[in-house]
Amino acid sequence: MSEKPWAGEFIRTPDRRLRVFVSSTLGELAEERQAVARAVSALRLTPVMFEAGARPHAPRDLYRAYLAQSDVFVGLYWQRYGQVGPRKHVSGLEEEFALSAGLLRLLYIKVPAPDREPRLAGLLERIERQASYRLFRTPAELGRLLRDDLATLLSERFAAAATAARRGPGPLPVSATSLFGREEAIGEVAGLLARSGVRLVTLTGPGGVGKTRLAVAVGEQLGDRFGSGTVFVPLATVTDPGRVLAGIARAVGADLAGAGSPLEVLAERLGGDAWLLILDNLEQVVEAAHDLGELLARCPGVVMLATSRTVLGLRAERECPVLPLPPPADPATVTVQELAASPAVALFVDRARAVRPGFALTEENAAAVAEICRRLEGVPLAIELAAARTRLLDPGALLGRLAVSLDALGTGTVDMPERQRTLRATVEWSVCLLDDAERSLLEVATIFVDGWTIEAVARVAGLAEDRVLELSEALARHSLIYLDSSEAGPRPRMLETIRVFVAERLAARPDAAQVARRHAGYYHELAERADLPLRGAGQGEWLERLQSEAGNLAIAVSWHLAHDRGPLPHLFRVLWLFWEIGDHMGEARAWVGQLMPAVGSLGPRPGPSCCGRRWRPLTRYTTTRRLWRPASTWPCCCRESRTLSCTRCPSWSWRGLRRLPATSTALCGRCWSPWRCSAVTTSRTGRPWLP
C-alpha cells in the first residue's frame, strides 16, 4: 500500500473498511458518480464522495482530509476542468489528482468529449504520462469496469500482504567490498547494544566516514542475540518524517492495509519480542524522533541502531561518533610492509586494485599513497574516490592534482548513493540540512586554519559569544565540526575535506572581504596581547596559545601583505620570538623578504615613549632579530663580541654583545632596513632604537 501524501486533520468513517475516494466534477458526471458509489458498496467498501461530507471545514481542507483517510483513488473525467478558486492556480479536480500520488489509482475517461475544455485536455495529457486509464461511454459500463478493477486490485493486494507476512524481514545488505580499520569500533558498539537498558544508539559522523558499513557489521555480529531478527531500514530517500514509521513497517513485514496508524501497526507487529532495527540515514528526518521514542515505549524488546549526521535528541539516545581512519605513519620511519598495515593505506590499495589489477604498494609510491591518505584525513569515501583515479593516474600524479583541488577525486561507482557519488555532493547534502544562521557560521569558520576559539569566531562573524556557542553546538550535532583536545585546550575544528568545499560558499558571499579583514584584525590584536607576556612570566602559556594559532596568524600576515602592510613591522617584532622558538623562522624570513621592497614607504614607527616600554638590563637579555631573549639560551654562539648595525642608518647600532649568534637577521627600528652583524671590540656604544 502506498504511503499517504498528506498528513492533515483526519475525518474517519465509522467502519473499518477500505475507503475509495471518488474525484470528478459534480454536475456533468452525476449519474456516473452514483454508478461508482453502487459498485464500491457492492464490494463492501466505503465510497468517499466529496459532496457527502459535513461542511464545517473549508472545502479544500475537506477533500484533503478525505484523501488522507482513503486507500484507493478513483478519478472520473469528461469535458469540464472545474472551478479555480480565488488565489488558486489549479482547480480542485487537478489538485485532488496531484494529492493522490501515494494512493492506488483507478482512472476513467468518458468518450466522446467534443467540448472538452483545454485545461482538462492538458491535465489528461499529463495523466497519460504518469498512469494508465480506461475509457467508458455509459454509467453502466463504468460500474462494470470499476467492479472488475477493484476486485482485481483487492486480490493482488491480499496476495502481496500474505507473501510479505510469510517472508518477514529481509536479510542485511551484503557489501561487495572489505571493511578496514573498524574492528575495535564494531566491538565497542556491539558491546554497548548488548548492555541492559540501552535502547537507542546513534552512530554520528560526517558524510562518507563509514557509518552505514559499521552499522551493518555490528548487526551481523549481534544477529543471534535478537531472536525476532535484525532489520535494516534504508531511509535515505525518505524526506517526510511522517513516513519513517511506514518505512520501518515495510522492512519488518507489517501490513499497513488496515485502518490503524503505522505506529499502531508496528507496535502490534513487534510486540515485546527482541528486535534490532538498523535505521540508516536519519539526518534529513530527525523530526521523526518523537515517533521513534513512542515506538520504543510501546515495544520493550526493540533496540535501535541509527546512523545519522546529527543526533536525534531523545533521552534514551547514546551517541557514538564514528571517526575517520587514523593517518598512516611517516614512510621515512617505517617499512613498506608496516605502512601497508595502516587501515587507510590498506583501503586505498584494495580499492586501487579493483580498477587497476596488479597495483601494489612499493618503495616508489608508498610516500605518495601515505600523503594522499593524510591529505584526505582518513575519510573512507574520499580515499575510495581517490583510489578509483589510479585507473589512469599513478599515486604521485594523483597527489599533485589533489594539491590543486579536491574535485580531482572524481565520481564513485554507479551503485553508490547519488549524494555520495562525489565528495562535493556529500558535503552539499550535509550543508543543505542546516538553517540559514548555522550555514552562515559554518561558512565563516572556513576562514580559520587548524581550528578556532569561540571568542575568535564570534568576533569574525560579528555575533555574540552565547549565540555562537549555540550555533556551534548545532554544527557539532550535524557532524560538520568537532572538538579537538590540544595542549592549549579544546578547539572546534573542521575536516579539511569539508572546509575546502564550504570555503567556496564563503568566497561567493558579498561580505567575504569584510570577514577576511575581521579575521586579520582579530589575530593582530591577539599578537598585541601576547607582546609583554611572551617576554615575561607568561611566556610558556602564550607560546602554547600562539602555537595553536600559528595557521591563523599566518593567514593574518598574508592578508596584511596583500592589503595593509603598515602594521607588519611592529607585528613581526612582536611575533619574532614566537617564530624562533616555535621553529617558524622559514616562513618568517619569507614574509620579511616580501615586505622589504616596501620599507621605504612605511615611515618611522613611534618610539619607546609612546608605548611606555622600559629597557631590561643588558646583563640578562640581549637584543637581536628584534626580540628579547635570555643570552644563556642561544643554541649557537661565538665568544667574540659582535655588533648589529643598520645598512642605511650606521649610527643606529648595538655593540658589545658577547654571546650573539654568528648569523643574525633583524630590521632597523627607524627605517626597517636589514641589519648587519660583524665582529668588533668589546666596547659598549649605543643601543638600537626599538618600538
- Higher per-residue confidence, 19 vs 602: 19
C-alpha R_g of the chain = 36
Q: Is the pLDDT of residue 430 over 90?
A: no
Express as a percent the part of the chain with pLDDT over 70.
Answer: 75
CA distances from 193 to 188, 214, 222, 381, 480 (A): 9, 13, 9, 26, 26
Categorize the per-residue pLDDT at 132 as very low, low, confident or very high, splitting at 50, 70 and 90.
confident
Express as a percent the part of the chain with pLDDT over 90.
Answer: 26
- Higher per-residue confidence, 35 vs 58: 35
- Higher per-residue confidence, 165 vs 406: 406
pLDDT at 47: 75
Categorize the per-residue pLDDT at 61 as very low, low, confident or very high, splitting at 50, 70 and 90.
low
E runs forming strands in 547-685:
621-624, 627-630, 642-646, 653-657, 675-679
pLDDT at 85: 74
> For 525-552, what is each residue's pLDDT tens digit?
999 898 888 877 778 888 888 988 999 9
Interval 363-380 mean pLDDT:
91
pLDDT at 346: 93
- Higher per-residue confidence, 103 vs 657: 103
Interval 479-506 mean pLDDT:
83
For residue 108, the cross-strand partners are: 76, 134
Least confident residue range of 279-288, 392-401, 488-497:
488-497
CA distances from 354 to 207, 413, 421, 510, 632 (A): 23, 11, 17, 45, 60
pLDDT at 558: 92
pLDDT at 573: 84
Interval 459-463 mean pLDDT:
94
> For 299-327, what is each residue's pLDDT tens digit?
999 999 999 988 998 999 999 999 999 98
Neighbours of 53 (CB within 10 A): 15
Categorize the per-residue pLDDT at 147 as very low, low, confident or very high, splitting at 50, 70 and 90.
confident
pLDDT at 160: 54
| φ, ψ for residue 113, nearest 5 deg | -140, 75
Categorize the per-residue pLDDT at 512 as very low, low, confident or very high, splitting at 50, 70 and 90.
very high
Q: Is the pLDDT of residue 633 over 70?
A: no
For residue 110, the cross-strand partners are: 136
Q: What are 83's three cell numbers?
A: 472551478
pLDDT at 643: 41
Interval 134-154 mean pLDDT:
87
Q: Is the pLDDT of residue 627 over 70?
A: no
Chain mean pLDDT for the chain: 77
pLDDT at 350: 92
Which residues touch 34 (CB under 8 Å, ≥6 apart)?
A: 139
